[in-house]
Amino acid sequence: MERILKSFKDLFICENPVKRHLMYVLLMILPSIAATFAGIVDKETPKEVMVVLFALAVFFLFLSFVPGLYLLGFGMEFYELRLKGEAGVPKITSELFVKGLKTLPLTIIWCIYFLAAMGIVIGFPVFVSIASAMTIKDNPIAIAAIIVFAFFLITLLFIGLIILSSFMQYVFIKFVKKYKFRAEFINPFVLVDYIRKSFKDTIMVMLKMTLTGFIVNAVTSILTGIIIVFMMAFVFISVLLIPEKAGEDNIYHPIVILLMVPFSSLAGIIQLYASSLVGFAAADQYVEIYKNKIEPTENDLDI
């Protein structure tokens, strides 16, 4: 617990910590607005409103590209600070954009690996279950047993995938030392070496920070819940005051949407910032593991 508290405390030990954290939060505004517009759309949304909301979501998603690269560079700079033994969070400069741009290809590659692994985790048990069910289609008990087993297997494999993803951090921690691509950085089997060297320590950090994340999310959920209540109150009042025929379509009135977007975006930003703090606290400990367990055994020459 003491180590976890230190990781959080170190996030605010730097020059102008409030300004740095505020600037970091400001980078989340456009992505949060894009997510809000996309989240408003559901199957009951009128077609003409859906088109407008989708267009706005795409527009703000496009605008989010630059702040997204800054956020990516912010995370990479955070690794660098910890590798140097420095506390705090990075200062927002144009250098973060450059570092985010350099890291983007590597991020895309590992996202593809993760999505492919997730597809296998879900697809393989489902395929086996369907194939098995086809052979015993007249036995409902056996089919139910197959479905339960498939669900159990998917859950087990998914947990394994989440555990495996924790070791991906070491790829990026090593990458930020020089920002130069090496063969090992795009080799998914490099994780096997990281697992061999740091399995116990990494799992312990992952478990502790997962529990911490649940606690932080519970607290932020209360805060965002209050925001949502205020939003619903404003929406309800605005629906009543709209000088048009009352009906379900009033919920998609431009005035209502204009009220929903800032409240929902604010709630999203709060949750994202809280999750980021947990992520940075975890990264602080992953860097320590890298320095103590992985780096001493590696040959740091370029490949």
Name the residue range of residue 201's domain.
Answer: 2-297
Would you say residue 28 lies in a domain? yes
Would you say residue 6 lies in a domain? yes
Would you say residue 143 lies in a domain? yes
- Could you tell me the pLDDT band of residue 246, with boundaries at 50, 70 and 90? very low
Would you say residue 157 lies in a domain? yes
Taking only the tens place, the pLDDT of each residue in 100-128 is 999 999 999 999 999 998 888 888 778 77
pLDDT of residue 242: 61
Stretch 255-259: mean pLDDT? 73
Look at residues 163, 190, 177, 32 and name the one whose alpha carbon lies nearest to residue 109.
Answer: 190
pLDDT of residue 23: 94
pTM over 0.95: no
Which 3 state secondary structure label does DSSP give 282? helix
Taking only the tens place, the pLDDT of each residue in 59-96 is 999 999 999 999 999 999 999 999 999 999 999 999 99
Where does residue 211 rank: exposed (0-12), middle (13-18), buried (19+ CB within 10 A)?
exposed
pLDDT of residue 287: 94
Task: Assess whether pLDDT exceeds 60 at residue 300.
Answer: no
Would you say residue 199 lies in a domain? yes
- Residue 115 corresponds to which tokens in the numbers above? 């999505």
**How many Å apart are CA 155 and CA 161, to the nearest integer?**
10
Would you say residue 89 lies in a domain? yes
Element (H, E) at 60: helix 47-63
Would you say residue 81 lies in a domain? yes
CA distances to 25, 57, 68, 262, 297 from 62, in Å? 19, 9, 10, 19, 42
Would you say residue 303 lies in a domain? no
Q: What is the count of structural domains for the chain?
A: 1
Q: Evaluate whether 293 touches 197 at the Cβ level (below 8 Å).
A: yes
Stretch 264-283: mean pLDDT? 91
- Residue 108 corresponds to which tokens in the numbers above? 């895309």
Number of residues that make up the chain: 303
Look at residues 303, 11, 300 and name the one whose alpha carbon lies nearest to residue 174.
Answer: 300
